Structure 1
Amino acid sequence: MPKQIHLAAHFPGVNNTTVWTDPRSASQIDFGSFVHLAETAERGKFDFFFLAEGLRLREMKGRIHDLDVAGRPESLTVLSALSAVTTRLGLAATVNSTFNEPYEVARRLATVDHLSGGRAAWNVVTSWDAFTGENFRRGGYLDEADRYARAAEFLHTARELWDSWADGDLPADPAAGEFARPGAGAFAHHGAQFGIAGRFNAPRPPQGHPVIIQAGDSYEGREFAAADADVIFSRHGTLEDGRAFYKDVKGRLARYGRRPADLKIMPAVTYVLGDTEEDAAERAAEIRRAQVSPQNAIAFLEGYWGRDLSAYDPDGPLPDIDPDLGDGVSQGRAQFRGDRAETVRRWRELAGERGLSIRELVIEATARQTFVGTARSVADRIDEFVQTDAADGFVFVPHLTPGGLDDLVEHVVPLLQEKGVFRADYTGPTLRDHLGLRPPAAGSARSEREAS
Structure 2
Amino acid sequence: MSRPRKQVHLAAHFPGVNNTTVWADPESKSQIDFSSFRHLARTAERGKFDFFFLAEGLRLRELKGRIHDLDVVGRPESLTVLAALAAVTERLGLAATINATFNEPYEVARRLATLDHLSEGRAAWNVVTTSDAFTGENFRRGGYLDRADRYTRAEEFVRLARELWDSWEPDALTGAGDGFVRPEAIRPFSFQGRHFDVAGHFTVPRSPQGRPVVIQAGDSDEGREFAARTADVIFSRHGTLDDGKAFYADVKGRLARYGRLPHQLKILPAATFALGDTEEEAAERAAAIRRQQVGPQTAIAFLEQVWGRDMSAYDPDGPLPDVDPDLSDGVWGGRVPLGDRTALAAKWRALAEEKRLSIRELVIEVTGRQSFIGTPAAVAALIDRFVQEDAADGFILVPHLTPGGLDDFVDRVVPLLQERGVFRADYSGTTLRDHLGLGPGSN
What's the counterpart of residue 351 of structure 2? 350
**Shift of the alpha carbon at 1:66?**
2.1
**Shift of the alpha carbon at 1:183?**
5.3
**Shift of the alpha carbon at 1:99?**
1.0
Deviates more, 1:416-425 or 1:194-203: 194-203
Q: Is the 8 A contact 1:60 1:329 kept in 2?
A: no
What's the counterpart of residue 244 of structure 1? 246
Instruction: Report Cα offsets for 1:253-274 as digits up to 9, x if no partner.
Output: 1101110000000000110001
Instruction: Report Cα offsets for 1:190-229 as digits up to 9, x if no partner.
Output: 2222111111111111011100101111111111111111
What does residue range 79-118 of structure 1 map to in structure 2 within 5 Å?
79-118=82-121
Distance 1:339 1:207 in 2: 41
What's the counterpart of residue 276 of structure 2? 274
What's the counterpart of residue 203 of structure 2? 201
SS at match of 1:370: strand
Q: Is the 8 A contact 1:102 1:155 kept in 2?
A: yes
What's the counterpart of residue 59 of structure 2? 56
Letter in 2 for 1:434: H
Summarize the Cα distance change of 1:174–1:372 in structure 2 as closer, same or farther, 3 Å threshold.
closer
What does residue range 280-359 of structure 1 map to in structure 2 within 5 Å?
280-327=282-329, 330-334=332-336, 336-359=337-360
What does residue range 230-241 of structure 1 map to in structure 2 within 5 Å?
230-241=232-243
What's the counterpart of residue 261 of structure 1? 263
Q: Is the 8 A contact 1:185 1:201 kept in 2?
A: no
Summarize the Cα distance change of 1:130–1:47 in structure 2 as closer, same or farther, 3 Å threshold.
same
**Shift of the alpha carbon at 1:185?**
5.2
Deviates more, 1:369-378 or 1:179-188: 179-188
What's the counterpart of residue 449 of structure 1? none
Letter in 1 for 2:359: I
- TM-score of the superposed pair, with normalisation by structure 1: 0.94
Letter in 1 for 2:47: G
Distance 2:210 2:73 in 1: 36
Q: Is the 8 A contact 2:63 2:334 kept in 1?
A: no
Deviates more, 1:341-350 or 1:5-14: 341-350
Distance 2:199 2:164 in 1: 10
What's the counterpart of residue 429 of structure 1? 430
Summarize the Cα distance change of 1:69–1:272 in structure 2 as closer, same or farther, 3 Å threshold.
farther
**Shift of the alpha carbon at 1:342?**
1.8
What does residue range 4-19 of structure 1 map to in structure 2 within 5 Å?
4-19=7-22
What's the counterpart of residue 386 of structure 1? 387
Matched positions, count: 440
What's the counterpart of residue 372 of structure 1? 373
- TM-score of the superposed pair, with normalisation by structure 2: 0.96
What's the counterpart of residue 46 of structure 1? 49
Distance 1:12 1:397 in 2: 6
Letter in 2 for 1:80: A
What's the counterpart of residue 35 of structure 1? 38
Distance 1:219 1:344 in 2: 22
What's the counterpart of residue 224 of structure 1? 226
Instruction: Report Cα offsets for 1:386-440 as digits up to 9, x if no partner.
Output: 0000000000011001111101000000000000000000000000000001213
Distance 1:110 1:135 in 2: 26
**Shift of the alpha carbon at 1:369?**
5.2
Structure 2: unaligned runs, 5 residues or longer: none
Instruction: Report Cα offsets for 1:229-274 as digits up to 9, x if no partner.
Output: 1100111000000000000000011101110000000000110001
Q: Is the 8 A contact 2:134 2:331 kept in 1?
A: no
Distance 1:134 1:222 in 2: 28
Instruction: Report Cα offsets for 1:143-179 as digits up to 9, x if no partner.
Output: 233221111111111111111110011243787x943
Deviates more, 1:369-378 or 1:185-194: 185-194
**Shift of the alpha carbon at 1:291?**
0.5
SS at match of 1:54: coil
Summarize the Cα distance change of 1:171–1:305 in structure 2 as closer, same or farther, 3 Å threshold.
same
SS at match of 1:189: strand
Distance 1:39 1:355 in 2: 43
Summarize the Cα distance change of 1:26–1:422 in structure 2 as closer, same or farther, 3 Å threshold.
same
Instruction: Report Cα offsets for 1:322-372 as digits up to 9, x if no partner.
Output: 3322206614324x2322222222222222233322212211222235100
